Amino acid sequence: MRRAMTAIEVVVVLSVIAVVMGIVLPTAARLRDGIAVRNATAEATAAFATARRSAIVRGAPAALGVDRPPGYITVSIGGEMLLQRDLEGTYGITLSSSRDSTAYSPLGHGVGAANLSLVISRGRVAETVFVSREGRVRK
């Protein structure tokens, strides 16, 4: 009666493990990147909503700065910082936008050339947040 494995059996088992890991690891990395991008997108969308709501409630123009300092989103009214989020540091994502800031009037509308596109990416996963002239945010 034999109690040990042969070298061929060990090689076959290790080969099967290697193939399974080759399939699972890239999928897990893409899943992790997707989760980080979705969470960062949700936080960025909440920052836009906070800026718009604050402008309406306070009756004063509100500004949302993108990438000041790099990787941050900052909401301010009249020089007072209301919110600052480090999206790059928290989620390991990369931010890129068509403009460095947007502003909301006391009515909640975009001020000036308010169109903005914010691309949030990590690895092969990316999402874009669009802000219209009316101040509305969509993904």
> Is residue 117 predicted with pLDDT exceeding 80?
yes
> Is residue 13 predicted with pLDDT exceeding 70?
yes
CB distance 37 to 125 below 8 Å: yes
Reported as a pLDDT band with limits 50, 70 and 90, residue 113 is: low
> Is residue 11 predicted with pLDDT exceeding 80?
yes
Per residue in 33-77, pLDDT (tens digit) is 999 999 999 999 999 999 999 999 999 999 999 987 789 999 999
pLDDT, averaged across the chain: 90
Domains (range + CATH), the chain? 7-138 (3.55.40.10)
Residue with tokens 């088992």: 13
CB distance 118 to 100 below 8 Å: no
0.85 exceeded by the pTM?
A: no
- Report how far apart, in Å, the C-alpha atoms of 113 and of each of 14, 82, 98 are: 59, 23, 11
Instruction: State residue 114's pLDDT score.
Output: 64
Sign of CA dihedral 56, 60, 66, 68: negative
Tokens of 36: 């980080």
Amino acid at 74: T
**Which of 92, 45, 52 has the alpha carbon at shortest distance from 73?**
45
Reported as a pLDDT band with limits 50, 70 and 90, residue 89 is: very high
114 vs 130, which has greater pLDDT?
130
Instruction: State residue 62's pLDDT score.
Output: 94
Instruction: State residue 120's pLDDT score.
Output: 95
